[in-house]
Every structure is written in structure tokens, then in C-alpha cells.
Chains A and B, each alone.
Chain A
Amino acid sequence: MQSSRNTLSSLWQALFGDPLRAFGLVSLLLLISLAIAPAKNHFSEWHHYQKQYLAMIRGRGEAITLQRHLQEGIQQIWLPEIGVVDRCTTCHVGSKETSLADVTTQPFRRHPVIPHRIDQFGCVMCHRGQGPATTVEEAHRSTLAWEQPILPARYIESSCGQCHRGALAGTPRLNEGRHMLARYGCVHCHTIKLPDGSTMKATDDPPSLSHIADKTTREWIYAWLKDPQAYAVSATMPNFKLSDADGRDISAFLIANSTPVPGDTAPVVTSKAPPDPTAGASLYGESFCASCHAVQNAAGNVVGGDVGPELTRVGNKVKPEWLQVWLRNPRLYDPGTGMPHYRFNDQQAGVLAGFLQNKTDSDLLANVHLDPPTPEQIAHGKTLATEYGCASCHEISGIKKPENFAPELTRIGSKPVTQLIFLPGMPHALPDYIAAKIRQPRSFGAALKMPQYTFAPSQVDALTTALLSLTERSQTLPPALTVAELPPSNYQPAGKAGRLITDLACFSCHAINGRGGDMAPDLTWEGSSVQRQWLKDFLKNPNTLRPALIRRMPKFNLSDDDITELTDYIMTVYQTPAFDRDSMPVSGYSPAEVEQGRGLFYSKYGCQACHIVDTNKDKGYIGPTLTQVGSRLNAAWIYYWLKNPQVLRPGTTEPNRNMSDDEARALTAFLMTQKGSGKQEAKK
């Protein structure tokens, strides 16, 4: 102790004993402290990168231009209205240099072409990370103080979704993810509020279970609950990983709780053995069931549409008498179904039901043996159905749809990492957490209720992308800075025709006034487009206009009254304001005009690339066949379509040719002479 004090005092004497020496020493210390700031800059990472950049551009042809663009020192993009303070361009100096396209080393790479300018949006808006940071580590990774890491490239589209509420051409994964949130029923349990105050709506239509005993057996319900994908690989119902006892009790409850559908649902008396064993398959094909329903083939591929449920093992599921009633008129069992009312006669319904009833898998229910349920089991089943939130998706009489059943996801994309509980071994980042939750929800705790979905890795990425777009910023952005989605349409046609359109489920395939599917042409302006007689004939017996398509308009066996009703309605109501449908004559064009049109069709515009006028010569089949176009379409529609098809049907495949009025008129004249009748077609 004494010796150390001695040493200190002698050191003090040696340094500050002499005033001159003390002054010199203090000056030196001052000088060093003044040099710290510039030295820190000099040895900083960003200065190192700026020097490297200068060295890199020195050898290039446009070195002088690049050097002039370079601003040394810390650079900052400051956008107060969207809360952006970004210093990324301090190191990413070449991000705006188009001539650096061949440079692949970071941080000097040119930013790929996007529709936005960096100085208007900054970097962290899209890439996340810490904008104000000036070291590589703090800017890109999560540290103790700043926890927002850079967003991996595979989720980058989520950033577009913060401002763009609707689908964009360049963001297929975001679009798919948003579609899945609605299609797979995520939003039945999880509330997602949109910035405009509305709530995201589900687009799936889980069936009501109130009359389930009419439709299927307890054994099938049990097998389905245990593993929905064993019944249909494309089933969207997730697996709740129920125990045998829970499956037994829920199935017991659902059957016991079911009440018969009121009204006339007496089963049809099937004529014994259909006259032709292939009749069922033919009717299935003629009715274009495969446009909406898929069947798994021997190779394991699911072939067909995904509008209705997969039918690979439908014979295991439905009761024969229910199926016949359903095929005769599906709306008796489910008034809101997307399945059209086909107006099959009793014999057709019987044949088709017999065909579908044979689609079975003997293994599916082979090991399901259920004893008659006890009242305790039924009561327990009801408790389970309530606890698992079955009523969030399905209507079940006696159980109310629960509110806020699962955590709200409105701001999930901004959830702080500190609020997440990670599994051992997984990266501590929000995207990884969300993806893991979707992939295997129960891995976060066996008692969790979220079921197991069967998603492909790309689907998990898409869903994660869509969820990451639900950020704090997306909720708080001024509306002026966002790009709104087209509001959903709840268009409903009126009157008797409106009821027919609902009964035939036209909206399942066709869109009208913004509502409906995209499988078939938009009918919003069908009345301006077609001729009355053609429409009547088509509704009576639809023959395809596009031979290359496998999905076609089915025959609904409509009565003459129904056809007249529908035709009148379509011809009167679905009219475009863009032109007068009688502004062009149906006939009376001069032969010279017709010949000019023919020339334009075959040489100048090369229409035969996509359309067929002469079946012996033309082969194109991207657009509809035009052999009878003169008796199908309205002359004024043809004329204005040729002038600009994109105006009449936005997004149609046919490009705008920028035709002159004379040319459009001549082509209309030529096309109106194409009146080849259907009978001649049949002969060929």
C-alpha cells in the first residue's frame, strides 16, 4: 500500500513537477483528444467502403462521372412523413449507378430496377434493418439495442403490401399469401383488420354441420376428423391431431346434434342398373364437373378444378339418398352453395349418383368401428367442438361462433422480437418465427389448439410474406400514400332472372359487375356483345367457342321459359355505355369492304395466328373460333372491340392494334359475313 502510493507520487512529480513539462503534456493530451473524432471517421467501416469504391471505379471507363456522383461522408435520406431516417447509401454508394450493372460485389451493386426511387422511399421501408446505423453489424443484424434485422430476400414482397392493398403483377408470392389467408380460412379464427377499418373476409365456404347426419355417416366424420388429407389430398381442412377418443366424441356429438333438412327431400327411386355402364362417366364429362371438382388419378396427381371439393373418395362420404337429392337440387341442402342447380331429371341424377358412389377407397373406413355413443361422450364432444373452435368456421346449431378465438394478426408483421418465444435452435427473427408457426404450430406447445396444415414450402413462404406485410406502418400510413384495393363487389341481379343466376351459380365461373369467378368470360357487357338468337341457342345447348380449353360451359337443361327470361335480362341489363349496340348494321356491307377486311385479317393483322375463320386453312386457337362470328356477335361490338379490346374487357389477352376507323369497319364487314351454321360444323 505504502509503496504504491510512493510510486504514484513520484510519477506525478516526474510528469507535472516542472510547469513547462506539465504544459507540454497537457497540450499533447488536448491534441490527441481533438484527433479522436476525425480518426474515428477515418477508421470507420463506411470510410473503408467509400475508399474501396473509389479504388473499384478507378479502372472503369466512366470513372470521372462516377467519382463526381460520389458524395463522401455519411449520407442520409430523411423522409419525416413516413418516418424514414436511412444512412444506407453511405456504404451502398453505387445503388443508383446504372452503369454498374456488371458489379456483383456488395455494397457497391446497383439496385435492381423497381418502380420506386430510393430517395423518395428510403431503404428500410422495404428491406427493414436499422436505417440510422453506421456499422454493418448494427444496420443489418439484430443487436441488443436495435432488434430489426434485414428482411430476407424471399419475403421482400411483404414490404410492397404495406402500401399496396391490392394484387400487383410483380408480387406473386404476396398475392398468393393474401389469397391463402382468405382461402384456407385463417381469418375465421384470427382477426385481421385492414387499415380502412374493414376486416379481412374468408373466401372459403366451410359447410354447415347442422344437418350433417343427412349427408354422411359418423364413421366418415371420425375418419375425416382424424386425418382430412387421407380422404382427399387437396382438402383444405387442417388436421387437429385429435386422439381416438376425441374423434369418437366429436363425431358422436355432430351426429346427435344434427337435424334433418326441412322440406321435400324425399330420395329419388333409382331405376335399377343404369342402361349403359359408361353413362355415368359420360354424364360427368358432359356436365363438365371436372371444371370445379378434382379427382386424384392413378399416378397420384389431382386433376380438375378446385372450386368444389375433391371427389376421389366421395363414395365413402355421402349417403346415396342424400347424393341424389343434392344432384337434383343442391340448394335444398345448402342455399348458399356454389354448385349450380343442373336440372337433371331423375334418371340422370340416379346415373350420376351411381357413378360417384363408386368412387371409393376400401381402406378409408375399414378400421373404423364405433360403438353407439353414451350421453357423456356426446356432451364431451360438444365441449371439444367448442374448445377447438369448430364453430369459427362451420355453422353448428347450439354452438355460437366464437369472437376473437385466436390472436389478432393485424400488426403481426411488426411484432417485437422480445415478445416472441422461440424454439431452441431456431433463428431469432420474426420471419422464421412466423414460418415455424405455420409449418408446425403444435411444436410450440402440445396444448396449443392451432391445427396442422399441409402446406408446401413455397406456400409457407407466401403466407409468411402476406403476414409480414401487416405492419405497424401499414396501419398508420396516411391514406394518400397507399394504393387502395378495388372494393369487393356484392352485386346481386334482381328479379326472376336474378334468382335464376343464383340458382345456376353463374358467379362461380363468370364475373358480372366485379363479382364472380374468373374461369369463364366476364358477362358485365354481354348484352352489347352478342346477338339475341345466338344467346338463346347457346343457353339451350352450349357448344364451345375455344376448342383448346378444357373447362367449358355445362348444359343446364334449362326450360324454354328460363332461357327467354335469362336472355331478355342479359340483353337488356348487361349493356355497355361505351357505344350504341345498333350503331353498326348487321348486314349490307359492300363486297369491296368485305374483301378489304379479308386482306387485313390475313395479311396486315395476321389474325389467323389466334383465330379460325376457315377451318380448312386457319389453325390458331388462342382466341375464340370465328367461323360463326357473324351470327354470334353484334357488329358494333366487333367494331369497338377491334378499336381497343382492352377498353371493353380490361386485361383480355387480345392486344390493342391501334386500328384506323376504316380498317376496323372493313374487318367488321368481313367478320359479319362469317355465318357458318353449327350444322355444317358438325358435318366436318
Chain B
Amino acid sequence: MNGNEWAVEMEDLVKMFGTFVAVDHVSMQVGKGEIFGFLGPNGAGKSTTIRMLCGLLTPTSGRAHVSGLDVATQPEEIRRNIGYMSQKFSLYDDLTVEENIDFFTGIYGVPKAQRAPRKQYVLEMANLTERRRSLTRTLSGGWKQRLALGCAILHDPPVLFLDEPTSGVDPIARRAFWGLIHDLSETGHTIFVSTHYMDEAEYCHRLALMYRGKVIALGTPEELKNGLTSHSLLNLESSDPLETMRALEGLAGVLDVAVFGGGLHVTVDDPASTSVRVRQSLAAKGIEVRRLEQIQPSMEDVFVAMIETEERSAA
């Protein structure tokens, strides 16, 4: 694959800390202008992968390219072509909004002619024009996070790495933040973003699901949901959820039962025939079925199902 066609490319990327394999032979590609979501539980190896792509960690083996530049041999060039937002808030609290912007403008070497317009753009994007002289310490979480994003894109990098940018931010600020990410993607920027909020996965063009250092699923949100084609999901509401669970256990065609809100999510292989059997079995036990319908699995269902499959195959 030619490096110019992909914004980010990984081939058998491995990172070991002592004997612990943090990233285990990861191979994937991210296209230009894509919003690429990186999902997985804490400790799955998402941050380690992102840090390798930013040149902050040296891969143990394998290769990775960002904007066609080799992570191992061209870290200097990569740093000029990426923006990075680490998990921890990483601006200077004791500097004002403007001073933070000026500092990053300086170290990214933004050309003189572009300095004023870029600063203006970032202030407007983060909605901080009126608070430009406030100490960063006094800003709330959502503002800080937008300022951090602004400082990471001052040099207009083609590729952006965001490591759990929305952790600890309220839902309204999170939505506004994803709006900014979309705008950036529309102007041709590639965004590589990790998160553990399932609802945010739906905002991404494509997703990779990482678990214990491995990528266990890769595709668009639709593909991942339809990836469970051998199984279907039924939403079941009954008069006695606890008894219902017992009744369904071991019933032919039922693969898994999980409590979900006030009802149950039942994973089955054939929805039509199993539905009939479920109704019969529950009627025999005197449990009233209030609702039984096939539903589209949510990202969370997909996520849990895939990790369970992975664990079963590992055991």
C-alpha cells in the first residue's frame, strides 16, 4: 500500500513493556479525512498505540506510518504534521488563554503571516474570544478541552490524535466537541480518536475495537452491528424478569440473556422460531409477556458480545 493513500498505517505493530504485551500485532489503515474511532476498555492498549503513532514511544517491532512518514525513522517530520491531545489536560494552568495559544504558536513554528488568523480561528472555534485574558485555571472542563484542541491544531496538521478527549466533560460540552471534530474532518483533516463512551462511537466513520492489545473488530458502525448476523437481539419485557431469566436458561435457540434497563436483551440464532418457543415456555410458567420484539443492537451490545466471544475463544 502506498503511504500517500493513507493518513495512518500500521503493520504488525507491537509494544512490549518487559514481558507484558501492551499492543499485540496491530495492523490497520486510516484514510484521509476519516474520523477513526478507537474503542476499548481501559488498559486495552489504545493510549500506547496512539503514543507510538505520535513518536512518543518506540515500537518494539512492526512498522507504522503517519502521513507517509515512518514513525521509527522520521519522528521529527511527524511532529510537524500531527496534533496530539493527551488524556491528561496538558495546557498551562497559570498562563492565560492567549499566552497558551502564543506559546504553542511559537513551538509549532506557525509562519508570521498566519499567526494572527490562526489565533483568531482558534479563539472563535473554542468560543474563548471574550475570555482570552483569563487564566486557564479558571475555565471549566469543556472550555479547557476546546482550548486544548485549539492549541493542538494551531499549525493546521493533516492528522490529529485525540486520546480520550471527552473524559470528564459534561454531555453538552461533549456534543459540541464532536461538532468541532466533524467540522475538522470536513476540511480534510484525519482524526484518530480514542474513547470509551459507546454513544460517541456512532459519530465515527470507522471504528476499531481493541481488547487486550489486539484489534478484535474493525469497520463502520453499521458493519459492526450487522457483523452479528449469525445472532439476533430480542427485547423482552415481562411481569417477572428474574423468573424469566431462569425460564430462558438452556432453552433451545437462546444464546445469551442480559438485563437491560427494565427488561431483558436475549441473543438468539433464529428470531422467528425462538420467539414462539419463548412465548410458550413463559406462558407455561404463568409469566406475562408485555413486549417481545427484534431490535437493532446498540454499539454497547456489539462491544459486549465481541468481548465475550473473544474471552470464550481464549478460554
Q: Do A and B originate from a single complex?
A: no
Residue numbers of B with Cβ under 8 A of A are none
Residue numbers of A with Cβ under 8 A of B are none
